[in-house]
Amino acid sequence: MVSPHTLIVGAGIYGVTAALELRARGHRVTVVDPGPLPHSLAASTDISKVIRMEYGPDDAYMGLMEEARDGWLRWNAEWAASAADPLYHETGVVMVCRAAMEPGGFEYDSWQTLRARGHAPERMSAEDLVRRFPAWSSGLYVDGFFHAQGGYAESGRVVERLIRSAVRSGVSVVSGCRMTALVERDGRVRGVRDEHGNALAADHVVVAAGAWTGRLLGHLGDSISASGHPVFHLRPPDPELFRAERFPTFTADVARTGYYGFPLHPTAGIVKIANHGLGVAVDPDGPRNVPRAEVERLRDFLAATFPALADAEIVSTRLCLYADTQDEDFWIARDPERDGLTVAGGGSGHGFKFAPVLGAIIADAVEGRDNRWLERFRWRPDVRLAHGGEAARCHTAH
C-alpha cells in the first residue's frame, strides 16, 4: 500500500513539528517554504521564546503546557551535546504586578491555578523581588510570584534542530518555494501551485504559514490576521546583573503593560524585551520597522522597571508577527468545505511554547482522529470578538 503524501506549507514551528509526527506515522511528507531556513521573518525565529505554564484561570492550557514542558526536557536530553548546551533553559519565570494580586488578574488567577494543580510557586513581595533579583526597581512591583518550572527556549535554534531531525527522518524539505494558490480538482485539494506556476501534487495539504495564512487562503477572511509586535535586543552595561540566576525570564504586569523579557543570552550577550499587546496590523511581506513611539515607550518602561537598562544600547529591533485568531486560541482544523486541506496555525503570540505537543494535535486533525483539543481549535470563521481571551496579553491601547 502506498503511503499518503502530505505536503506542508511552512517550515516554522507548526509545520516542522507536524512533519515529524506525520512522518513517524508513515506519511510521505514534503515541506515547502520560501526560505531561508529557519525563515528570518517567521515568528518562530529569534533568539528566545518564553516557556511558561501560566494562563490565568485556564486550567486546560496549563495542563497542555505541563505535557509540553515534559517534552522540552525530553528534547534537551536528546539534543544536548553536553549538559551545558540545552536549547530549553529552565530559568524559572517571575510574574509580578504593580498592585496587590486579586481575583480576575492574570497573576492571581495563574497563582491559584498553579497551586490547584499541585505546583509550588513562590509568592514575591516588593522586598522579596529586589532582594532576590536586584535589577528590578524598588517598590514599583509589589506582588506576584516566581515559578521554577518555566524559562525560555532558543527558538531559532530549536526550529533549525527540528528541521535537521525531519530531514534525517525522511521528510523532503524544499526551500525557495513560495506557494501562491491551492490546486483544486473534483471538489478536493490536490496540491499547491508556486509563484512560477508549478503544481506540487499531494494527497493532503497542511497550510502552516503563520502570519501569511490569511494571504494564502483568502477564504479565511479576517479569521486569521497578521499583527506586528515590538521586540528589542539590548546590550546591558552591567551584564552580571542580568544573568539568569539573578534575572530570570519575566512578565511585568503583563496584562496591563504587555512587557515581558529574558535574561542575558548565553552567547549573544544581550537582554531581549518584547511586548505582548494589541500590536499593529501589518503586511507580512512589508517593512518590519518598530515605530519610534514604541522605542520611547520602552525607554519609559526601562527607566521605571530596570534602571540599569534605562540607557542601554538597543542593538536591534524587529516586529514579531503574530497570526491572530479572533479568540486567540489556535486554529488546527480540516477545512469543512475543501477536502484534503488542513490549516495549522493561529498561534496568536503564544504558540511556540507548545512545540513538543503541536505535532500530534496537527497529525490527528490531518488523519481525522479524535483529539480533545480539536474542538477548541476547530474551524470557526463565525467567531467575531472585540479581543481574544489569552490572559497574559494586554488588550488595551497605549
Q: Are strands 172-175 and 28-33 parallel, antiparallel or unpaired?
A: parallel
If you count them, how many residues does the chain have? 398
| Cell numbers placing 274 | 518584547
Q: Mean pLDDT, to the nearest integer, of 235-259?
A: 98
**Are 370 and 251 a contacting pair, CB within 8 Å?**
no
Q: What angle do CA 93, 99, 102 make, to 5 degrees?
A: 80
pLDDT at 386 over 60: yes
Instruction: Tell me, yes or no, if the pTM score tops 0.75.
Output: yes
Burial class (CB in 10 A: 0-12, 13-18, 19+), 185: exposed
Helices (H), the chain: 13-24, 59-79, 106-116, 126-132, 155-169, 213-216, 254-257, 292-305, 355-367
**pLDDT at site 3:** 79
**pLDDT at site 44:** 78
Instruction: Give just the sign of the alpha carbon dihedral 76, 81, 84, 85.
Output: negative
Give tens-digit pLDDT for 198-224: 999 999 999 999 999 999 999 997 899
Percent of the chain surpassing pLDDT 70: 98
pLDDT at 2 over 70: no
**pLDDT at site 7:** 98
DSSP symbols for 215-255: HH-GGGTTSEEEEEEEEEEEE-SSGGGGSTTTS-EEEESHH
Confidence of residue 38 (pLDDT cuts 50, 70, 90): confident
H or E element that contains 324: strand 313-325
Give tens-digit pLDDT for 302-319: 999 999 999 999 999 999
**Are 163 and 37 a contacting pair, CB within 8 Å?**
yes
Instruction: Return d(Cα 253, Cα 257) in angstroms, integer.
Output: 6
**pLDDT at site 84:** 62
Q: What angle do CA 377, 378, 383 make, to 5 degrees?
A: 95
DSSP symbols for 133-176: STTSPSSS--EEEEESS-EEE-HHHHHHHHHHHHHHHT-EEEES
**pLDDT at site 18:** 98
Q: Mean pLDDT, to the nearest integer, of 230-241?
A: 97
Domain ranges of the chain: 90-151+225-325
Give tens-digit pLDDT for 304-359: 999 999 999 999 999 999 999 999 999 999 999 999 999 999 999 999 999 999 99
The b/e string for 253-264 (b: 16+ C-beta within 10 A; e otherwise) is: bbbbbbbbbbbb
DSSP 291: P
**Are 329 and 378 a contacting pair, CB within 8 Å?**
no
Instruction: Return d(Cα 19, Cα 27) in angstroms, integer.
Output: 9
**Are 303 and 152 a contacting pair, CB within 8 Å?**
no
Q: Mean pLDDT, to the nearest integer, of 38-45?
A: 79
Instruction: Return d(Cα 316, Cα 57) in angstroms, integer.
Output: 35
Superfamily of domain 90-151+225-325: D-Amino Acid Oxidase, subunit A, domain 2 (3.30.9.10)
Give tens-digit pLDDT for 113-158: 999 999 999 999 999 999 999 999 999 999 999 999 999 999 999 9
- The values of phi and psi at residue 395, to 5°, are -105, 20
Q: Mean pLDDT, to the nearest integer, of 248-267?
A: 97
Three-state secondary-structure class, residue 268: coil
Confidence of residue 283 (pLDDT cuts 50, 70, 90): very high
Confidence of residue 28 (pLDDT cuts 50, 70, 90): very high
- Of 96, 92, 15, the residue nearest 50 (C-alpha): 92
pLDDT at 82 over 80: no
Instruction: Return d(Cα 97, Cα 291) in angstroms, integer.
Output: 26
